[in-house]
Structure 1
Amino acid sequence: MTDQPATSGLTPYVNLNGVADAMAFYAKAFGAIERARNQMGSDNRIIHGHVEINGAPLFLSDFYPEHGFPVVTPQGYNLHLQVTDAQMWFDRAVAAGCTVVMPLKVEFWGDTYGQLRDPYGVTWAIGQSKQS
């Protein structure tokens, strides 16, 4: 499999503990398509993983404390998915193992919106425009 360059102007690059498992989980929870998997070291940690979710790239790397990437808990951000069927995306992610942070509902600005946390500590937001 050949890695493809990012196609958007901003690509999240997330460090997680257990990227190989996370990539499989994201396929189940969010329909992720694997684009690349580059391993490094005798323990087969992934130095660069690339999945596509909802048409957008997400880059992933295991932690490498020995190279300046210490283990830290994800915090201070969420990965937002703007979709046309928020209920389907939300339900699939919950069925795969995400926990509900904020239930899916129509918010004051008119869009359907909710938040989930995956088993790796990443918060995901699911949004659907009121026009969809």
Structure 2
Amino acid sequence: MSISLNVYLVTDGNGREAVDFYQKAFGAEVLALQTFGDGPSDPNHPIPPEAKDRIMHASLQIGSSVLMLSDTFPGMPYTVGNHVTVTVNTDTTDEAKAIFNQLQDGGEVKMPIQETFWSPAYGSVVDKFGVQFQISATPGQA
């Protein structure tokens, strides 16, 4: 069993500026940077022009830790206090589902755990203490 935890920040359209800022402040290495426009297209859910350059996901290596962040999607609420989440990365789908199921007990599921184009098992849940977690199976990367 391999599990890692990371801090995940949500920015309100200024994600690229935040990546540059944290890269400089911490001497970080940008491991990944993907905009909503870079993601796979879906004719049933087209990406609006104002979302194409917003950050869908970025990862920065800071020492032995990884800081992750994304922008809100245009029109989604941005609330200071809810803009920091904890990501839980496991190396198997079964581990991700088991952790998700435990965290949802008494909490609120924001996105059911499911297969996505970036993970065989990803979900988002706010636990009974009000902490938001993003659970993701990333085989070989936890």
Quick check: TM above 0.5? no
Higher RCO structure (Cα 8 Å, ≥6 apart)? 2
Give the structure-2-normalised TM-score.
Answer: 0.42
Give the structure-1-normalised TM-score.
Answer: 0.45
